[in-house]
A = this chain, B = another copy of it.
Amino acid sequence: MANDPGPRRHSDRSSGAVTLQQVATRAGVSIATASRALHGGHGRVVNEELRTRVLAAAAELNYVSNAPAQALARARTSVVGLMVHDVADPYFGAIATGVMRAAAEYDLMVMLTASFREQQLELDYLVRLRNQRARAIVLAGSGFTDGEFTERLAERLAGFVEDGGRVACVGDHGVATDTVALDNRGGAEQAVAHLWELGHRRIGVIAGPLGLVTVRDRLDGVRRALERRGAPLPAERVVEADFTRAGGRAAALALLARQPELTAVFALNDGMAAGALAALRDELGLAVPGRVSVVGFDDLPYAADLHPALTTVRLPLEKAGVRALELIVDDRDARGTRRIVELESELTVRSSTGPAPAP
Contacts and interface: CB of A to CB of B under 8 A. Distances in A.
B112 A128 contact: no
Contacts of A277: 305
A278 interface: yes
B114 A97 contact: yes
A88 B94 contact: yes
Specify how many copies of this chain sit in the oligomer.
Answer: 2
A316 to B, nearest CB: 14
Interface in A80-117: 82, 86-90, 93-94, 96-97, 100-101, 104, 109-114, 116
B114 A111 contact: no
Nearest to A317: B88
Interface string A287-312: 00000000000000110111110000
A68 interface: yes
Given A68-B70, A88-B301, 16 more contacts: A67-B67, A68-B68, A71-B72, A72-B72, A88-B90, A88-B94, A88-B97, A101-B116, A104-B114, A109-B113, A109-B129, A245-B305, A277-B305, A302-B302, A306-B306, A307-B308
A132 interface: yes
Contacts of A100: 87, 112-114
A121 B96 contact: no
A274 B128 CA distance: 40
A334 interface: no
Given A113-B109, A302-B302, A306-B305, A88 B79 contact: no
Contact of A111 (B79, B90, B101): B79
A75 interface: yes
Contact of A104 (B70, B121, B301, B318): B121
Contacts of A70: 68
A231 to B, nearest CB: 31
A90 to B, nearest CB: 6
Interface centre among A90, A129, A245 (most CB of B within 10 A): A90
A143 B110 CA distance: 22
Interface in A124-150: 128-129, 132-133
A110 B109 contact: no
Contacts of A71: 68-69, 71-72
28 contacts: A67-B67, A67-B68, A68-B70, A71-B71, A75-B133, A79-B111, A79-B132, A82-B112, A87-B97, A87-B100, A88-B90, A90-B90, A93-B93, A96-B114, A100-B113, A104-B114, A104-B121, A109-B111, A109-B113, A109-B128, A109-B129, A110-B112, A111-B111, A245-B301, A245-B305, A274-B305, A305-B307, A306-B307
A218 to B, nearest CB: 21
Contacts of A87: 93, 96-97, 100
Given A72-B71, A97-B87, A301-B88, A111 B110 contact: yes
Nearest to A11: B71
